[in-house]
Amino acid sequence: MRHLIVNADDFGLSSGVNRGIIEAVENGIVTSASLMVGQPAAAEAAQYARDARRISVGLHVDLGEWTFRNGDWVPLYSVVRIEEAAEVAEELASQLNEFERLMGSKPTHIDSHQHVHRQEPVRTVVSNAARKLRIPLRDFTADIHYCGDFYGQDTEGKPVPGALTLEGLTAILRSLPEGITELGCHPGYGEGLATVYRDERAIEVEILCARRLRETLHQIAITLCSFENILFRSGSTASVS
C-alpha cells in the first residue's frame, strides 16, 4: 500500500500564496500545509484552516531566506543567527506559541523554510521539539519518506525549464515507494512577493488541480491522506530520529 501526503509549504506567506494553496486543496490533491506564523497572511491562512477543516496544518519554521549570488548563498532576510542554538531554540518556542494562538491547537508536523532544519544546530533544536510534541519532522521521522522532486528550481535557485509539468509529476507519483510519502509543493500566486520562488507557484497550482491526477492516483493505487489521519507504525505517535 502507498499513502501520500501532499504538503503545501509557505502557508501564510501572502494572500496570493494562501489563495493558491486553498485552490489546490479545494480543487486539487493538496491534503496538508505548513504555516509560516510570522508572515503577513498567517492569520488569514489559519482562519481558513480552522473553518474548513480540510487539511492538517504544521509549523513551517522560518529562520530566514537565502538566495544564490556570485557563487554563494546570501540572506534576503534573517530572523536569528542559525549557528546559535540558543537563539534558534528561543525563536522556535516563540513560533510554536504563535502557532497555537493562531490555530488553537498544536501543529500536526514540523518542517522549515528552505529546509534549514537539516543542518546543525537547527536540526537538534527542532528534532527535540518534534520529539517532545510527538509529531513528525520532515526527513527525520521513521516511516515517512519525503519527496521534494516536484520543484521548479535547481540547487542554486535557477529555474529548471520543463521541471513543472503534469507528466513530470505523474512520473514522480509512479516512482514513489511503498508506505507513507510526503510530497512537498509550493502552490500560490506570486503577486507582491519578494522571494526566490515566485513565478513557479502558479504553475504548481495548475498542475496540482489537474483532474487527471486523481485518476492517476487511483490507477496506481496511491491513497491520499494527511498528517492527521495517518497511522504511524509506532502506534499513534511519530518517531523522530
Question: Does residue 232 register a pLDDT over 50?
Answer: no
**What does the pLDDT look like over 152-187, one tens digit per residue?**
998 888 888 888 999 999 999 999 999 999 999 999
Of 237 and 64, the structure prediction assigns the larger pLDDT to 64
Q: What confidence category does residue 233 fall into, taking pLDDT thresholds of 50, 70 and 90? A: very low
The Cα-based distances of 28 to 24, 82, 181, 217 in angstroms read 4, 35, 17, 12
Give catalytic residue positions: 9
Higher pLDDT, 190 or 23: 23
The whole-number pLDDT of residue 196 equals: 83
Q: Please state, in angstroms and rounded to a whole number, the distance separating the CA atoms of residues 158 and 156.
A: 6
Each residue's pLDDT tens digit, 113-140: 999 999 999 999 999 999 999 999 999 9
* pLDDT reported for residue 193: 87
Contact yes or no for 232/3 (Cβ under 8 A): no
* pLDDT above 90 for 94: yes
Whole-angstrom distance, CA of residue 162 vs CA of residue 164: 5
- Per-residue pLDDT reduced to its tens digit, 212-227: 999 999 999 999 999 9
Identify the residue with better confidence: 74 or 96.
Answer: 96
Determine contact, residues 164/203, Cβ cutoff 8 Å.
Answer: yes
Looking at CATH, the fold of the domain delimited by 2-225 is given as TIM Barrel (3.20.20)
pTM recorded for the entire structure = 0.94
Q: What is the model's pLDDT at position 58?
A: 98
Q: Do you find a cis peptide bond into 159, omega within 30 degrees of 0?
A: no
pLDDT band at 236 (very low <50, low <70, confident <90, very high): very low
**Binning pLDDT at 50, 70 and 90, where does residue 86 land?**
very high
